[in-house]
Structure 1
Amino acid sequence: MERRRFETHVTSTGFKLPSIHEFPALFCFQPFSSARSNQEDIWTRLILSYARHRRLFTLCADDAEKPSSDWHEVLSNERIKRKLTGQQVTTLLQTLVSRNQAAYEPPKQLSSVILYWRKPEEWAEVLHSWAVATGQLNTIMTFYEIQNPAIESDLTDIPSGLLRRAITILTKTQRAQFIEGGDGDGVRFFSGN
């Protein structure tokens, strides 16, 4: 009997899926803790690297059930006729949150997260570097201006919750100050220490 050889696969978006994605058991959560932990490690790395590749900030349990989802090519494998269920994705969301690789957004629910393919601390540094490079020190900027800059940047479309976390980190080092106003939340950046 010939053994099946698992190969990498490049998706329509140019993401290279690892050969393990061809393994049917990856899509069936294992009952034994050591195998399950290894499986969760694989899925979290896969989800975070795919999110970074596609610049996807959120993952919802419902994404497993929608063929039109941005996540379809990772959460399913048509070649082997396997896919994750919404419940399995919910379990992975819990794993991501428990490992501080995601946060529930909105809070107080368990079916949607903001993914930390960059940690909030890393986003804080990206944000401050952007403010320095674009000459925004001592200037009040709205969240909208940061999320929708005239020239696309790493911060384009960053979710408000993640942006707020990054600014909070900068406030602790005196490199930013929250500004509340009638036109929405804003921030002023400082050079810092």
Structure 2
Amino acid sequence: MIIGRLPSEAVLVILEELGKSGNASPLDKSKQRWLIYWHTLEEWGDIIYNWAQESGFIGSVCTLFELTQGEDTTEQEFHGLDTEVLIRSLRMLEIAKKAELILFDDNQGVKFF
């Protein structure tokens, strides 16, 4: 089997198509670095919010570390999720007025509504 390498233009077309479906977004204006998502940011937000509802965290604050590394989330699909993807997902919840991000100094958390 011969495995070739796609030209960078072809890779960019693929990434832009993933971006249109909500499964990728560029990290820089030159589109040299991308985040690729298994779930869209909205889907990740919904998964996290459903967990918060089921686990009794509505009205509470959770640290971002607790969400991705804590003992309460070891069985959750978002356990181990990249911090940048987590923050972008929580911003979707913020837009929907379901959560508020707390990002200042060394404090990184989210309050669920």
Specify the TM-score bucket, using the shorter chain as the normaliser.
Answer: 0.7 to 0.9
Letter in 2 for 1:97: G
Letter in 2 for 1:85: L
For residue 99 of structure 1, report the CA deviation from its aligned partner. 4.3
Matches for 1:6-45 after TM superposition, within 5 Å: none
Identity %: 24
After superposition, the CA RMSD in angstroms is: 2.2
4+ aligned runs moved over 6 Å, structure 1: none
Q: 1:136/1:99 Cα in 2 relative to 1: closer, same or farther (>3 Å)?
A: closer
| 1:180 paired to 2:103 | yes
For each residue in 1:68-97, what CA deviation from the matched residue of structure 2 results, as whole angstroms up to 9, or x when unmatched?
xxxxxxxxxxxx212333624344223322
Aligned residues: 110
> Does structure 2 conserve the Cα–Cα contact (< 8 Å) formed by 1:143 and 1:184?
no
Matches for 1:74-153 after TM superposition, within 5 Å: 80-85=1-6, 87=8, 88-105=10-27, 107-150=28-71, 151-153=74-76
Q: Could you state the TM-score of these two structures normalised by the residue count of structure 2?
A: 0.77
Higher relative contact order (CA 8 A, sep 6+): 2
**Equivalent position to 1:158, from 81, 90, 112:** 81
Q: Which runs of 5+ in 1 are unaligned?
A: 1-79
Q: Could you state the TM-score of these two structures normalised by the residue count of structure 1?
A: 0.49
For residue 178 of structure 1, report the CA deviation from its aligned partner. 1.5
